[in-house]
């Protein structure tokens, strides 16, 4: 299909970049307005130790991205150069940052990989494999937390634990969605891809969701293509890919520990790490782009126990997002236009 006036990424407009920033800052601003206490900031001191832990926080985020880059090189059998792998990951993260958490950047990630020289089938396999490995990390780690940490420690904030705890409810809904998605994806990738496509198309016959039937059909086709690529991969291939996944997500969760240690002593570093993992599962239910607003709110409430003052949690939430979220928006703004020009100007694009 010859290039027309629009390319497949034409839907990424400036407003989609501005919305998550505005939503996030608006929520933080409102919480500061309601809870600001200047006396709470008297205990904050920026010292040489603060510089060290702030550097560690940034280094952990870089480690997280390096893990993703290593993983995509493994999944593409090293057919992507380090530079191309870096671009794909940054574009992927950028798209994730401007779409609701439940959608993420997966919907256009196949295009990113495909335009870097891989076939559509191989690109679909790479994207599906990354999605599978990410969800597998949560599926394995969440139950393990309950072996080490009691539900009361994990979910109770300043009170007794109960089954109606809001944080537990969000976490269980998010985990349930992830578990069902991973089960379906595993069945489709490794057992019966055509059967899964048939189930998807049958499910999307219902009137309320019928308008997404075309997308479901495309997803089913991608799974069939992916299955052919992934079924015969050796066990060592999956061990290396999951190892890179484990490195990425674990490094990301330790970022908050480093940020808290920048200003305060932290009691219970592993509990803080565990709550972050749970918090990311909660983010799945957020309808806003990149979880903006919802994430800052949950952060300030769910992790406030680790700070000397609840008011400081709001500022720490903003600092955390400045390190872990906004950089991808900035990177995307610089990389995306050049990447689109490189791959779509006077060239053919997929139908």
Whether 163 is in a domain gets the answer yes
Indicate if the pLDDT at residue 330 is higher than 70. yes
Paired strand residues for 289: 100
Higher pLDDT, 118 or 252: 252
pLDDT value of position 41: 53
pLDDT tens, residue by residue, 6-61: 454 555 555 555 555 555 556 555 555 555 555 545 556 777 888 999 999 999 99
Whether 40 is in a domain gets the answer no
Higher pLDDT, 327 or 89: 89
Higher pLDDT, 345 or 235: 235
Whether 48 is in a domain gets the answer no
Q: What is the mean pLDDT of residues 278-282?
A: 82
Q: In whole angstroms, give the CA distance from residue 172 to residue 152.
A: 15
Q: What is the mean pLDDT of residues 307-324?
A: 76
Average pLDDT over the chain, rounded to whole?
Answer: 77
Higher pLDDT, 38 or 97: 97
254 pLDDT tier (thresholds 50, 70, 90): very high
pLDDT value of position 351: 38
Whether 68 is in a domain gets the answer no
Which residue range is the domain that position 270 belongs to? 14-35+79-344
Indicate if the pLDDT at residue 227 is higher than 60. yes
Whether 199 is in a domain gets the answer yes
Q: In whole angstroms, give the CA distance from residue 157 to residue 310.
A: 11
At CA 42, angle to CA 38 and CA 45, rounded to 5? 130
pLDDT tens, residue by residue, 181-217: 888 888 878 888 887 778 767 766 766 556 667 766 7
CB 321 within 8 A of CB 296: yes
Tokens found for residue 2: 């010859």
Label residues 72-99 b or e (16+ Cβ within 10 Å = b). Answer: bbbbbeeebeeebbbbbbbbbbbbbbbb
pLDDT value of position 60: 95
Whether 238 is in a domain gets the answer yes
Q: Whole-prediction pTM value?
A: 0.78
Paired strand residues for 100: 289
Top mean pLDDT of 60-69, 191-200, 257-266, 323-332 is at: 60-69
Count of domains in the chain? 1
Whether 50 is in a domain gets the answer no
In sequence order, what E strands does the chain have? none
Whether 72 is in a domain gets the answer no
């Amino acid at each position: 299909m010859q290039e027309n006036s629009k390319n497949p990424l034409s839907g990424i407009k400036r407003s989609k970049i501005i919305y998550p920033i505005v939503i996030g800052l608006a929520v933080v601003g409102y919480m500061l307005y309601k809870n600001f206490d200047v006396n709470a900031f008297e205990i904050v001191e920026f010292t040489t130790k603060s510089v060290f832990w702030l550097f560690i926080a940034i280094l952990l985020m870089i480690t997280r991205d390096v893990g993703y880059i290593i993983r995509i090189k493994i999944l593409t059998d090293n057919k992507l150069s380090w530079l191309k792998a870096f671009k794909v990951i940054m574009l992927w993260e950028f798209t994730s940052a401007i779409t609701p958490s439940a959608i993420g950047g997966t919907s256009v990630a196949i295009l990113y990989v495909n335009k870097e020289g891989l076939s559509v089938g191989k690109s679909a396999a790479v994207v599906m494999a990354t999605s599978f490995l990410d969800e597998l990390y949560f599926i394995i780690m969440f139950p393990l937390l309950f072996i080490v940490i009691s539900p009361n420690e994990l979910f109770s904030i300043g009170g007794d634990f109960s089954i109606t705890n809001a944080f537990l409810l969000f976490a269980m809904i998010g985990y349930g969605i992830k578990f069902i998605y991973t089960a379906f994806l595993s069945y489709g990738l490794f057992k019966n891809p055509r059967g899964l496509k048939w189930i998807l198309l049958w499910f999307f016959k219902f009137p309320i969701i019928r308008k997404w039937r075309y997308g479901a059909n495309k997803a089913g086709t991608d799974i069939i293509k992916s299955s052919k690529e992934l079924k015969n991969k050796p066990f060592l291939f999956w061990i290396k890919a999951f190892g890179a996944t484990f490195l990425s997500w674990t490094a990301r969760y330790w970022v908050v520990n480093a940020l808290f240690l920048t200003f305060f002593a932290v009691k219970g570093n592993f509990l803080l790490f565990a709550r972050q993992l749970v918090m990311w599962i909660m983010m799945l239910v957020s309808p806003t782009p990149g979880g903006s607003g919802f994430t800052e709110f949950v952060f300030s409430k769910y992790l406030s126990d680790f700070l000397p003052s609840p008011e400081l949690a709001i500022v720490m939430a903003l600092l955390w997002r400045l390190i872990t979220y906004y950089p991808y928006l900035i990177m995307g703004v610089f990389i995306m236009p050049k990447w689109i020009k490189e791959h779509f100007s006077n060239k053919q694009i997929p139908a």
